[in-house]
Structure 1
Amino acid sequence: MNLFQLLRKKKELIPLVLMMTTAAGGASAFAVYSLQKTDVIIDRKKNPEPWETVDPNVPSKLITINQEWKPIEELQKVRRATK
């Protein structure tokens, strides 16, 4: 039985099919978008050691190398007041 014939007979499946199609399309689009980012490396033949070309000044997604910590003045005032 064809999918369209099944949907004609059982109209309650139409929202389910639309939602599943939308979810699969969104997941596929996000996967393609993520693979186009510069921090995702697919081809290991051209760049076998990609960690050597990481710029420490550019923040990564999970870790920031050489991050400078600066105290927040408002937080310092609250800490002094509560001591």
Structure 2
Amino acid sequence: MTFFQLLMKRKELIPLVLFTSVAAGGASSFAVYSFWKTDVILDRKRNPEPWETVDPTIPQKLITINQQWKPIEELQKVQRATK
């Protein structure tokens, strides 16, 4: 019995197969999209030092661990003035 004959015999499996197929297609398309993004570097041979080719006009995502937040004086003055 082929797969399609099984689906025609048991019609209650059609939504399950449909949702599973859509989920698998979305997961695989997201994986392909993640590999083609410009901020992901997979090739170390052609570009071993990627920080040398960073465009300063494009905002970059940076990570800061254990950052100490200090109030900005100019922002505090503006907040006081608008109250």
Distance 1:32 1:13 in 2: 29
Aligned CA-pair RMSD: 3.2
Work out whether 1:44 is the aligned partner of 2:44.
Answer: yes
Work out whether 1:9 is the aligned partner of 2:9.
Answer: yes
**Matched residue count:** 74
Where does structure 2 lack aligned partners over 5 or more consecutive residues?
64-71
Distance 2:60 2:52 in 1: 14
TM-score by length of 2: 0.63
TM-score by length of 1: 0.63
Work out whether 1:77 is the aligned partner of 2:80.
Answer: yes
Letter in 2 for 1:77: R
Where does structure 1 lack aligned partners over 5 or more consecutive residues?
none
Distance 1:18 1:71 in 2: 53
Letter in 1 for 2:15: P
Q: 4+ runs of 1 displaced by more than 6 Å? A: none
Distance 1:27 1:60 in 2: 26
Letter in 1 for 2:3: L
Which has the higher mean CA deviation after the structures are superposed, 33-42 or 49-58? Answer: 49-58
- The residue aligned with 1:21 is 21
